[in-house]
Amino acid sequence: MLPPSPRPDYQSKADIYREIASAIAAVLDGETDRIARMATVTALLKDRFDTYFWAGFYVVDPVKQNELVVGPYQGTLGCLRIPFGRGVCGAAAATRTTQIVPDVHAFPGHIACDSRSNSEIVVPVFDADNQLIAVFDVDSVSFNAFDETDADWLENILKTTFQT
Ligand code: SME
């Protein structure tokens, strides 16, 4: 008799991101509309990860430039506008770097759109000209839900989807 295979149903976080990345590329093949692309990324990621309580884009306001306005998202009601430099999203936009926040209550200026959120990751999104167009924000009700694996894969997915 064959020995039991090692945890055949187990998928690591990286395995799941890899699958979602392929699904996003397949679904969006030939689709150039930015809102359709943002909505698809949000839906496919949010559906697969129980850790995702809120996921979506805050888009750079084309008129004000130094303010984010909510874009496609899934989850409870999000704040509509966030100035650059405010909260985690504002920090990601102002510094153009990914923010991993294990405890949002310890983050200066954190904006609590939903008090159930306890940790989050925010990744800046650039276009083909390297201009900041948005940030992608994921919140979890767990503390310390996100790490470098999330950062690497989200950066990879967002780069492939919006920069190429
Ligand atoms: N927590 C974010 C605000 C956006 S919501 O959580 C949806 C922040 O501080 O940037």
Q: Is the pLDDT of residue 161 over 70?
A: yes
Instruction: Identify the CA nearest to 59 among candidates 160, 164, 158.
Output: 158
> Is the Cβ–Cβ distance between 87 and 112 less than 8 Å?
no
Q: Look at residue 95 and tell me if it is in a domain.
A: yes
Q: Look at residue 119 and tell me if it is in a domain.
A: yes
Q: Look at residue 120 and tell me if it is in a domain.
A: yes
Segment 112-126, tens digit of pLDDT? 888 899 999 999 999
> For residues 89 and 10, what is the distance between their CA atoms, to the nearest angstrom?
32
* Number of the ligand 1 atom closest to the C-alpha atom of 120: 1
pLDDT mean over 56-77: 96
> For residues 123 and 144, what is the distance between their CA atoms, to the nearest angstrom?
16
Q: Look at residue 26 and tell me if it is in a domain.
A: yes
Q: Look at residue 7 and tell me if it is in a domain.
A: no
- Tell me how far the alpha carbon of residue 9 lies from the centroid of ligand 1, in angstroms: 34
pLDDT mean over 133-146: 98
Residue 147's domain is classified under what CATH number? 3.30.450.40
Instruction: Identify the CA nearest to 74 among candidates 156, 139, 124.
Output: 139
pLDDT mean over 125-142: 97
Q: Is the pLDDT of residue 1 over 90?
A: no
pLDDT at 112: 86
> For residues 52 and 114, what is the distance between their CA atoms, to the nearest angstrom?
13
Segment 93-106, tens digit of pLDDT? 999 999 999 999 99
The dihedrals phi and psi of 98, each to the nearest 5 degrees, come to -65, 135
Q: Is the pLDDT of residue 76 over 70?
A: yes
- Tell me how far the alpha carbon of residue 70 lies from the centroid of ligand 1, in angstroms: 10
More confident residue, 7 or 122: 122
Q: How far apart are the first and last CA of the chain?
A: 50
Segment 8-37, tens digit of pLDDT? 578 899 999 999 999 999 999 999 999 999
The Cβ-side half-sphere exposure at 153, using a 13 Å CA radius, reads 19
Determine whether the shortest distance from the Cβ of 54 to ligand 1 is under 6 A: yes
User: Residue 103 carries which side chain, given as an amino acid letter?
Assistant: D
pLDDT at 110: 87
Q: Look at residue 3 and tell me if it is in a domain.
A: no
Q: How many domains does the chain have?
A: 1
Instruction: Identify the CA nearest to 123 among candidates 93, 149, 144.
Output: 93
Determine whether the shortest distance from the Cβ of 89 to ligand 1 is under 6 A: yes
| Residue closest by Cα to atom 1 of ligand 1 | 111
pLDDT mean over 130-135: 97
Determine whether the shortest distance from the Cβ of 78 to ligand 1 is under 6 A: yes
Q: Look at residue 1 and tell me if it is in a domain.
A: no
Q: Look at residue 140 and tell me if it is in a domain.
A: yes
Indicate the range of 33-42, 67-76, 93-102, 105-114 predicted with least confidence: 105-114
- Tell me how far the alpha carbon of residue 13 lies from the centroid of ligand 1, in angstroms: 23
> For residues 82 and 67, what is the distance between their CA atoms, to the nearest angstrom?
6
Q: Which domain holds residue 145?
A: 13-162
Identify which of 46, 110, 146 to mutate to test ligand 1's pocket (most ligand atoms within 8 A of the CB): 110
